[in-house]
């Protein structure tokens, strides 16, 4: 995720060291009368709280109680402390979910549940390139055609991409682990299926990579950070299982910023293939970098707060952040249960449609997941769509900016664009940052308590180790009220987005990114030009909840009419 500044009122004040002060008399009496208060504390942790500590805590949490109320509170704090100590003696693993589940659908919202058959337009006469390196830039339907018509084998294709990963992966710092042996075995099985006339999907025999916070049996799942560098999870995530069922070939576990923040991991900083002096953005760093550099046809990433949008924007990839809950997250590292999302990072919207079609859906474990139809045709009439653009983000830009040029191209293609102001008074960044901070601190409570967070590469004030510690001082009441404020944001923003089929916005300008992550709306981020320094200029198209089919068809029309997603970083051609 791309975590911005936390709320300014969250001060890093650690008051636990002062907990050794004597109990007030009323607290002592209550403790003696209450068996729960008499439980043995964790070794080395004092169980005494006095008026001085309580007053300090009140200042920390913006509270003020009278002395009489403080006397009444103290005994309850002791009870709470003993419960905390019990919970700390029985830590939960990362895969234990919340009993509460976020739903992006407001009450009373009605959606079609009918899934129609998808007819894929696989070209029949795709030639092998005279220059083998050109295979790196073939689309999914082009590769599917070559494989289906036996112009290339999956073993050959897999070997080709493994060689590119070995050659360029160390330059981009985008590969954590190659799964070469298992990949070649999978490719051989795909070829055997082709020979028998067994055709599982257009993804059959096509290599891909996955962000290394997804568990895949037989590989390490490092989460990008030293404390988990040797971790092996003997299960396979929902997404990897779905892709295996479709016949796709997993060839690499790809880099992510530590515990899904930014692009720095224990192997270094993942690089932007357009400019190796720059990072790729995070946290789906390796997924975007490897795909944009032609090391893989596609990859799988995740987003909590910008982790698909940001690296796709920086690397010139096409990243789909689907509606929250549209893809089950089972077997994926939990960071923030109410905001984590899974999505494909590709080189075109059409490729993203192929991948999303085979990974979307729910399972019985991720209770936030939901099976909704994806009735993709790739065809849409721009003249009949209600399309808006965020004038408060775009109108002030220069006429030759990629964003303004995008609007010009869409108008030429027949789109009628309505200017709107995206809400900027909702404190979306602050609300989402608080929610993510609390949930992530809970997800990695044991890491903080064990002090193994000292092993992490990034120790800056605004990185996870300190964020987890700071979040311990956010009261549960404030977290709950932040979640309620999220509901209020949904009630205000959902009607606005629902009035339009597509809303156009710069990926990270203003509060749009935070707000649409809070509401759970899908977006696709894609290159729409190049800046004077050669870096990609990108835009985000925001769709309606579960409107991925229409959203990707809209992006496909733009990409069919423009060259931007077909341009590649020269060093990797």
Q: 150 in the Ramachandran plot: left (φ > 0), alpha (ψ -120 to 50) or beta?
A: left
How far apart, in whole angstroms, are the C-alpha atoms of residue 296 and residue 289? Answer: 10
DSSP 520: T
- Mind listing the pLDDT tens digit of every residue in the chain (573 residues)? 654 443 333 333 333 333 333 323 333 333 333 333 334 344 444 556 788 889 999 998 898 989 999 988 888 888 888 888 888 899 999 999 988 899 999 998 888 889 999 999 999 999 999 999 999 999 999 999 999 999 999 999 999 999 999 999 999 999 999 999 999 999 999 999 999 999 999 999 999 999 999 999 999 999 999 999 999 999 999 999 999 999 999 999 999 999 999 999 999 999 999 999 999 999 999 999 999 999 999 999 999 999 999 999 999 999 999 999 999 999 999 999 999 999 999 999 999 999 999 999 999 999 999 999 999 999 999 999 999 999 999 999 999 999 999 999 999 999 999 999 999 999 999 999 999 999 999 999 999 999 999 999 999 999 999 999 999 999 999 999 999 999 999 999 999 999 999 999 999 999 999 999 999 999 999 999 998 888 999 999 999 999 999 999 999 999 999 999 999 999 999
Domains of the chain: 16-89 (no CATH), 132-425+483-572 (3.90.1300.10)
Q: How far apart are the first and last CA of the chain?
A: 30
- Pair of tokens at residue 359: 């990974």
Which own/partner contact pairs does 60-67 have at CB distance under 8 Å and 24+ positions apart?
A: 60/11, 60/13, 60/15, 60/473, 61/473, 61/475, 61/478, 62/9
Picking from 253, 242, 262, 358, the residue whose alpha carbon sits closest to that of residue 310 is 262
This prediction has a pTM of 0.89
DSSP 400: T
Residue entry with tokens 């009441």? 477
Please say whether the beta carbons of 526 and 559 come within 8 A. yes
User: SS3 for 208?
Assistant: strand
Cα 461 to Cα 180, 425, 436: the distances in Å are: 38, 27, 16
Residue 419 parent element (H or E):
strand 417-420
């Amino acid at each position: 995720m791309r975590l911005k500044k936390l709320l300014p009122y969250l001060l890093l004040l650690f008051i636990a060291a002062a907990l050794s002060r004597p109990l007030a008399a009323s607290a002592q009496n209550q403790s003696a009368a209450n068996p729960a208060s008499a439980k043995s504390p964790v070794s080395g942790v004092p169980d005494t709280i006095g008026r001085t500590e309580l007053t300090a805590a009140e200042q920390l949490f913006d509270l003020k109680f009278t002395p009489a109320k403080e006397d009444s509170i103290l005994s309850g704090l002791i009870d709470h402390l003993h419960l905390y100590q019990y919970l700390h003696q029985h830590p939960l693993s990362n895969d234990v979910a919340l009993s509460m589940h976020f739903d992006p659908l407001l009450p009373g919202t009605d959606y079609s549940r009918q899934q129609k058959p998808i007819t894929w337009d696989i070209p029949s006469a795709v030639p092998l390139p005279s220059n083998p390196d050109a295979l790196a830039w073939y689309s999914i339907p082009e590769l599917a055609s070559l494989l289906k018509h036996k112009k290339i084998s999956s073993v050959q294709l897999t070997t080709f991409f493994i060689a590119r990963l070995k050659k360029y992966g160390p330059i981009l710092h985008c590969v954590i682990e190659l799964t070469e042996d298992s990949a070649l075995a999978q490719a051989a099985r795909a070829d055997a299926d082709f020979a028998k006339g067994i055709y599982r999907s257009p993804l059959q025999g096509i290599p891909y990579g996955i962000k290394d916070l997804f568990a895949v049996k037989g590989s390490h799942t490092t989460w990008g950070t030293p404390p988990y560098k040797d971790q092996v999870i003997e299960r396979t995530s929902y997404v990897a299982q779905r892709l295996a069922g479709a016949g796709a070939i997993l060839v690499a576990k790809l880099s992510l910023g530590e515990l899904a923040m930014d692009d720095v991991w224990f192997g270094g900083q993942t690089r932007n293939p357009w400019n190796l002096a720059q990072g790729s953005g995070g946290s789906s760093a390796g997924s975007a970098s490897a795909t944009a550099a032609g090391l893989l046809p596609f990859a799988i990433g995740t987003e909590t707060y910008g982790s698909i949008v940001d690296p796709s924007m920086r690397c010139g990839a096409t990243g789909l952040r689907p509606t929250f809950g549209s893809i089950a997250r089972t077997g994926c590292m939990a960071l923030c249960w109410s905001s984590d999302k899974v999505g494909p990072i590709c080189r075109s919207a059409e490729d993203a449609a192929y991948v999303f079609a085979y990974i979307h859906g729910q399972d019985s474990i991720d209770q936030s997941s939901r099976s909704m139809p994806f009735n993709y045709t790739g065809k849409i009439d721009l003249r009949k769509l209600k399309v808006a653009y965020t004038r408060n983000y775009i109108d002030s830009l220069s006429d030759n900016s990629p964003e303004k040029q995008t609007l010009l191209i869409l108008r030429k293609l027949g789109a009628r664009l309505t200017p709107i102001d995206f809400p900027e008074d909702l404190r979306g960044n602050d609300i989402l940052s608080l929610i993510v901070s609390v949930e992530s601190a809970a997800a990695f409570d044991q890491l903080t308590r064990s002090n193994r967070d000292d092993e992490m590469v990034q120790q800056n004030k605004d990185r996870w180790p300190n964020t987890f510690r700071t979040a311990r001082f956010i009261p549960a009441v404030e977290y709950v009220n932040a979640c309620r404020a999220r509901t209020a944001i949904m009630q205000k923003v959902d009607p606005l987005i629902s009035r339009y089929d597509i809303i156009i916005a710069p990926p990270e300008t203003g509060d749009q990114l935070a707000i649409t992550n809070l509401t759970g709306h899908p977006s696709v981020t894609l290159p729409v030009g190049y800046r004077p320094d050669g870096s990609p200029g990108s835009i985000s198209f925001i769709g309606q909840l579960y409107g991925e089919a229409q959203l990707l068809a809209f992006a496909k029309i733009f990409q069919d009419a423009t060259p931007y997603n077909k341009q590649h970083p020269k060093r990797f051609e």
